[in-house]
Amino acid sequence: MSDIRPPRKPDSAPEAEPQPAGPSASGDGQGPGVEPLHLPPLLPRRQNPWLVVEVDGSAAGHGALLWALREAARREATVVAVSVLPAPDGDPLDGSARVQVGAHLAAHNVLEAQVLRAIAETGVHGRSRTAVLERPVFEALIAATHGADLVVVGAQGKTLLRQAVARPPAPRRLARGA
């Protein structure tokens, strides 16, 4: 292999010989070195979607859960099956905490059974989670779907969730000669 270099000007100082950085690809220790390949940084991948489904024991709720599981398989999404506890009557601080924990556990067990039934019907595994929510939390999520701003505040900061603005439909183009 020959080394191609530009011609040297006679009045300039002699060039220093480049030193190889390491053994060559042939393994003989001679020739040009191997330099690391610098890749551009990877852009963060968009997070997979979440589908929140209220499962209330009705046929419509079950149908919504079946649709969500199939859609999650298609979109690589996660389904969050939600059971909403009824609002407490009277003063929430008046009641026993044991009654609320018992109602929460009972609702969670019923929800898990409904999700297992839907998984058996659809065959979609590993794409679901369950949660039992208090009524005010669920109402905040529903309000966000109807255009209300939802600000989520956590240890990492605040995030404002706004409703996605639908794109206007693309104008139809007619084929030439139509």
Residue 162 burial class via C-beta count within 10 angstroms: exposed 0-12, middle 13-18, buried 19 and up: exposed
State residue 130's pLDDT score. 95
State residue 148's pLDDT score. 85
State residue 33's pLDDT score. 78
State residue 164's pLDDT score. 59
pLDDT tens track, the chain, 178 positions: 555 656 656 555 555 555 555 555 555 555 577 888 888 777 667 788 899 999 999 999 999 999 999 999 999 999 999 999 987 766 656 655 666 788 899 999 999 999 999 999 999 988 899 999 998 889 998 888 888 888 888 898 888 876 656 666 666 666 666 5
State residue 110's pLDDT score. 95
For residue 12, give the amino acid letter.
S
The tokens describing 28, both together, are 């003989």
User: What CATH number does the domain located at 50-161 have?
Assistant: 3.40.50.12370
Report angle CA 154, 73, 63 to the nearest 5 degrees: 90
Pairing of strands 157-161, 150-154: antiparallel
- CA dist 63 and 67 (Å) reads 6
Give the bridge partners for 151, in sequence order: 160
Torsion of CA 46, 72, 68, 104, to 10 degrees: -80
Considering the entire predicted model, what is its pTM? 0.61
State residue 3's pLDDT score. 56
State residue 82's pLDDT score. 96
**Residues listed for the chain:** 178
Distances in Å between the alpha carbon of 25 and those of 19, 21, 28?
A: 15, 12, 8
State residue 53's pLDDT score. 95
Nearest to 114 by CA among 131, 99, 101, 100: 131
State residue 87's pLDDT score. 77
The tokens describing 168, both together, are 């206007």
The ranges assigned to domains in the chain are 50-161
